[in-house]
Chain A
Amino acid sequence: MSRRGVKIALHYLVLLLIAASTVLPFVWMLFTSLHGQRAELPTMANLFSPAGGYHFDNYRYVLTYGELPVWRFAVNSVIVTTGVVLFQLALCSLAAFGFARLHFRGRNSIFFLFLLTMMIPGQVLIVPLFLMVQKLGWLDSYWGLIIPYQYLSTAFGTFLLRQFFVTIPHSLDEAARLDGCSELGVFWHVILPSSKPALATVAAFAFIWTWTDFYWALLASSSRTMRPLEVGLSAFRDSYGMTCWSLQMTAAVIVLVPVLLVFLALQRYFVRGVVTSGIKG
């Protein structure tokens, strides 16, 4: 093989090794979840051939087991995440439109303030937010899980959308205005339809951040029926500890699959979003 060929092969090899290190744990997780409940932790030797065949019913078991209702955790996660994503799309797109298209006093200063809030670490907010939410009576309810902890999404989403809106040609606006559209009309009929990729990006980030949120979800939910998947999963781990790896991994796979699906479908947007914030930020 030519020297160049060797280099390319080596190149791919390194990349493959790194990819393997990323993928291997997930493969292990998946196959462990198919082992029997009483089985020992699988070794490399028997990972792919569990005693008693593949136990797909682990999934049914984990989802429906009454004491730790994983299906319920999943429902909670879906409700909370959908709520957040819709809320974010509404809030951020409206605000971004205002910052991008309209002129008003203090516009740049307020936008700068938005960006500044991204610097605030979550730890500073969590304790006072908890007390505030407690006073509102929102603890252990969907309100408390959805509304309070979205400051990062809001600031980031507004920033992202504003950067995008600015690139939309004004000629489209003018055309709509000539047709008699108000600002809201321009927003609804011109800007939003042209912004699907950017909106998808905001939705993708909001989805991931909310679905995988642990700290706030841990505090805002107390009773078992309110727990979202992340928190329920840690309770799962507490329950099984070192005793039953296969069921733990089953629960972990259940938690991970939606996120992976969303990611694989929207990965373009993740990359775009990360890049926009990095390069232009």
Chain B
Amino acid sequence: MILAAAGCRDEREPTEIVLRVTDWGSPVVESDFMRIEREILEGFEQQQHRAGRKVRVQKEQIPGPGQYAPKLTMMYVAGCAPDVVHLDASCGALFIDNGMLMDLAPLMARDPSFDRSIYFENVLNITRRGEAVYAVPLDFTPMMMYYNRKLFQQAGVPFPRNGWSWEDFLTTCKALTVMPPGAKMPTQYGFNFENVLPFWIPLLWTGGGDVLSPDGRRASGYLDGQATVEAVQFLADLILKHRVAPSIAERKILGGDAFLNGKAAMDLKGHWTLIDYHAPDRQLDVGVVGLPTRTGKPVTIIYVTGIAISRSTRHADLAWEYLKYMTSAQVQIKRVASGLAISGNREAADFYRARDDQDNPIEAEFHQAVEYARPAWGATVENFPMCEAFGQEMMEDILYGAATVPEATRRAAQYMDAVLAP
């Protein structure tokens, strides 16, 4: 009996259907967002109840940095995959290209009530493979340059404007770095650089460089190509030469998020940080602008959370209902009210854009960036997470002074090649 109770599916009464949904994040952290999520789930259960079905949504959160994709993959391998998956598109290629997810196109075609145009088209395209669609956008964010308006005003520096160049950026950083005479480190930095590849890769793009070749199969020639090397050098110089961004040791001493603490004037982040910036006990006056560019063309990266259905699910119809519910305008408006991200649903996104402060139209800036943003490599290249690790180690080596930029990029490119095409 004990052994019969083993196994993954949680079956109680035969009439209740349990829909298993996985998401990342810690299940134990209580926050407003978690409360809203729970209310939304209960809303779905009630909606189904009114339609005569007994449904329970079992939300399984998989905690730990970098653990979501591996643990979720192992669930597929072990044969106990969930019904619905929150998919981080930047590691989506692994799931999409190995047949773990259901093609949603037939479901869309079969359902007359479904209108594809509620989604941003180019965001939806990230999880497409030809005609097949493997996830619909739940929410997303382009990465933008935040600036602390108060610090800019104090320094008398005009706010940055779209189309600004790398030189403009460097000048601005210098103007906003405050180094009192005799001090060991600046009391205020121009730019809060964090060695997280998903954050700094768009800066490579603004320099005309990239980590991988256009077809995503090679790093050699690209990561260690001239444009990229110059871009990486530019970033490293911010820290090592111009000292407008904190070094690794200085970051430790600062502790916490330097931009959040008002110790840095600019930061490259996504929409979600607005939650912290606008928190009642913080109230940072921030503005948002596109990234500085060297090539003249604007570019940035866009991170998408999609919602997908497992191919192995036994409740495809219910999962589809759930998917429609979660991406409907009403639910989305509630879900991103905290400022988490831009809703994948156009109506909900426009709802918040309409509420922009006319002096400081943050949502509009984000929306503008969506037009030219590029998806993450992980949406099409399976082993990109490993490449991310190599890229970050490369940057660490450079920032510790353990290697020059050409050496480090060449070595990292070799490592990346080895995992991209074994």
Contact = CB atoms under 8 A, between A and B. Distances in A.
Direct contact of A and B (CB under 8 A): yes
Interface of A: 65, 67-68, 79, 134, 137, 139-143, 219, 222-226, 235, 238-241, 243-244, 247
Q: Which 8 A-B pairs have the closest CB atoms?
A: A238-B64, A67-B27, A139-B78, A141-B6, A222-B78, A238-B63, A223-B8, A239-B63
Contacts of A68: 27-28
Nearest to A75: B2
Contacts of B6: 140-143, 226
A143 B71 CA distance: 20
B183 interface: no
Contacts of B74: 219, 222
29 contacts: A65-B28, A67-B61, A68-B27, A79-B2, A139-B77, A139-B80, A140-B79, A140-B80, A141-B6, A142-B6, A219-B74, A222-B71, A222-B75, A222-B77, A222-B78, A223-B80, A224-B60, A225-B8, A225-B10, A235-B63, A235-B64, A238-B64, A239-B26, A239-B27, A239-B28, A239-B29, A240-B26, A240-B28, A244-B28
Contacts of B26: 238-241
Contacts of B67: 238
Contacts of A244: 28
Interface of B: 2-3, 6-8, 10, 26-29, 60-61, 63-64, 67, 71, 74-75, 77-80
A136 to B, nearest CB: 11
A226 B78 CA distance: 12
A142 B2 contact: yes
B7 A141 contact: yes
Nearest to B60: A224
B28 A222 contact: no
A139 B26 CA distance: 25
Contacts, number: 63
A76 to B, nearest CB: 9
Contacts of A139: 77-80
A220 to B, nearest CB: 8
A140 B8 contact: yes
A280 B262 CA distance: 67
A244 B78 CA distance: 31
A143 B3 contact: yes
Contacts of B60: 224
B113 to A, nearest CB: 33
Contacts of B28: 65, 67-68, 239-240, 244, 247
A222 B61 contact: no
A254 to B, nearest CB: 15
B22 to A, nearest CB: 10
A93 to B, nearest CB: 23
A134 B64 CA distance: 25
Contacts of B75: 222-223
* Residue from A141, A241, A244 whose CB has the most chain B CB atoms within 10 Å: A141
Given A140-B6, A225-B10, 19 more contacts: A65-B28, A67-B27, A68-B27, A68-B28, A79-B2, A134-B77, A134-B78, A134-B79, A139-B78, A139-B80, A140-B79, A142-B2, A142-B3, A142-B6, A224-B60, A226-B6, A239-B26, A239-B64, A244-B28
Contacts of B61: 67
A254 B26 CA distance: 21
Contacts of A240: 26, 28
A68 B29 CA distance: 12
Contacts of B3: 141-143
A230 to B, nearest CB: 15
Nearest to B8: A223
Nearest to A146: B3
A243 B64 CA distance: 13
B4 to A, nearest CB: 10
A70 B341 CA distance: 33
Contacts of A241: 26
A247 B29 CA distance: 12
A67 B67 CA distance: 17
